[in-house]
Structure 1
Amino acid sequence: MKIDTKIIAHRGSKGTRPENTLISFQTAIDEGADGIETDVHFSKDNQLVVMHDETVDRTTNGSGRIVDKNLAEIKHLDAGIRFSPEFKGTAVPTLQEVVDLLIKDHFTGIFNLELKTNKIQYPGIEETVFNYFASVDFPFQLIYSSFNAHSLEILNQLDPQLAGAKLFKTAAKQAKALKKDHMIADFHPDIRWLKRHPFFAPAQNLRPWTVNSTEDMQYCFERNMAAIITDYPARAIQVRTEMGRGLE
């Protein structure tokens, strides 16, 4: 059996580089990842900022909420120093800077953009993101995801052909209802939940997160899931390669 499961780098090569930074995404691409996953918020001045948390505290040398800072303030933060002194001076990227990097690298894999609207709504962010991508000629496969069903519904209304996926830890019924209503195409469940509910959905509709252990990687590859989302893309590629050789 050929393993077709794609390897999507979670916030870039998060396990080895400062997450959601250009160096993290570049490392994942250089390592051969099939996809890149990242997160987007609105700044105070409605700029599209790439960061996971709603606040800058965990990953930068600053403090406070993204929504309370304008882009110039965010650009003065150091997004590398907390990970390692080696990456001191690494900037927080905008969505456009990430897309520019992917275009420069002629990246044709998956770009999974999570709209972080589950805690702060960011009114209008869906339309802003949609209009941005409508203005860009990009080479990659764009997939939207969110924990917030309303964001996915808005994106589906803007373009029913968009590829959307519902992120969830346990809210499987809501995810299935969205798929039944053709609001999404695929599911992005927590791998821990998925292993307890192995018959939830066909493998081709599953991209679980965060698949970091060799055991979990093997579990997903054996079932030929659509993709895994991992902090360690290089390790996942190695495991997939070794398993593929064993199946020859």
Structure 2
Amino acid sequence: MRYSTGTDDEREEAIQAASLVIQRGGLIVLPTDTVYGIGADAFDHDAVRALLAAKGRGREMPPPVLVSATSTLDALAIRIPAYARALVEEFWPGPLTIVCHQQPSLQWDLGDTRGTVAVRMPDHEIAREILERTGPLAVSSANKTGMPAATDADQAEDMLGDDVDVIVDGGPAPGGEASTIVDVTGAQGRVLRVGALSLEDLNAVLEPLGATVTLDGADEPAEPAEPAQPADPTPGG
């Protein structure tokens, strides 16, 4: 079912419906600050599998996790370096996804993560209100793999309407561009995908601290690249 968010009452009804679906192990489409996402309870193994199946993905492409507050990061990840915390402080909420060592005690199965988790806090009030009620959600871009990510509810419904229980229509996605992904599991950060944030944006924060991030596969910091547009960009990952 599709829910509008044009009035306060409609917004509350939509958020309530989405939260209930998540609690029951279902799938939702929700707006974020980058693109629309398809979401499931990150701790519900069956729901995460259903999310991957809806997109036509395998376990080798685990979804990122969206959170409603920066404090949740420490509940999901360990050994977070100082440079990563500086990026989080500057760019959360916003289009930055960081890949961290996950807490080993977490009882979830996001796919073949190799002991890591990709985490983001979206800069979108409706998304965060849903997350506040549900807890962390596994969220991938609302599209079939190989198709462009949905930037409005119509596109999401066309691709995933038969696979989800609730679509929250928050209007056009204000960003329309995927998040930038930074691997922070090492002593120096590696940009796995340049998206809404450029390498220059990231290093402007880090260089005063004596740190930098590099493009994946580069030994030295590179010039800002054109935003990468993979076949299946994710709002969180």
Same fold (TM over 0.5): no
- Look at both structures and tell me which one has the larger radius of gyration over its CA atoms: 1
Q: Which has the higher helix share?
A: 1
Which structure is richer in relative contact order (CA contacts within 8 A, separation 6 or more)? 2
